[in-house]
Chains A and B, each alone.
Chain A
């Protein structure tokens, strides 16, 4: 069971600043554990963000991205009270969807 994402969305002028902190190990598959055995790759492949039912961002994420990655962007044409839905899918097929409201 994946840990929940932390989402912070705030209006700043005419645009909303949206920040999404995903909790994920982001293993590249190149590291080895203490016993010398390779740690299997485990990383987020795509992250999608919808605001008020409309797709505003789609990230193609790979192994070069750090553990517990932070995604941030500004988006116009939204208003306070809109629902932000973020969702990721990783290479093992796990998925996690979380919601927040623009402040």
Chain B
């Protein structure tokens, strides 16, 4: 690799980020709220998809607890940003425990603390469960996700129980979301391309061989798990401040399933794939609303069938898994070299 090519790649990356933010600047000023909201959800799904892919696709440990980590991040961030007055209004069954009832901090630190709390629970959950093999790990993390929902429902003096939290300030916008999305992709790409990333991939390919080569399996698995949990927490916090209301059921297994669809369709193990699938998943979900609306086909009136979209998506997932396991990208990644080679002859 010649040095000027390296600079060229940095330059191209920088230019595309600038272009991305120019587009966001344009979108922020010109699109109506509906489109902006869909695009924001897309950005959040990029964060969630890439972080789950680090755990499931790149390290090959099958975790089904992503929604649980999102819930932890969402509740933590929400409890920290809510104003004192709003908290008193929301917690009318049982008062919020001290000192949470007196705290109200800005969005960014709240998000970060939410991510750290999620990561801490990732460590707590990871240490016992990551010693388990494939299927058992999947069930144990699924169990963790369900336990979190039950705990949210029952710790009324912290989470307000099944009523959830409402009246959060709508901090999340395109800038916050895509800022975090770019950071997530940058961070996880750098991680994957480092020696840590090579160790993670080695664990995915063959655990015994990786161990024989001196990779500390357990340490690297926990590392991937914590990083994934951190970004899930951030994604949860962003989602909470987009929806402005959260309740425990919002973080049940259905949410994990959506993210699973994203990473499977994008290609398990491809960050590029997760970005593409994560971006288009919410858009497709919105666009597919027409199949739930009443329509006339060849003169026959079909009444709207609510819930049909998720049938289509689960079928899509099945078809991808059975006939085209690679997904969109397989394990390939987007790279500048590929494009440069097209234009520049050595």
Asked whether A and B interact, the reply is no
Interface residues of A (CB under 8 A from B): none
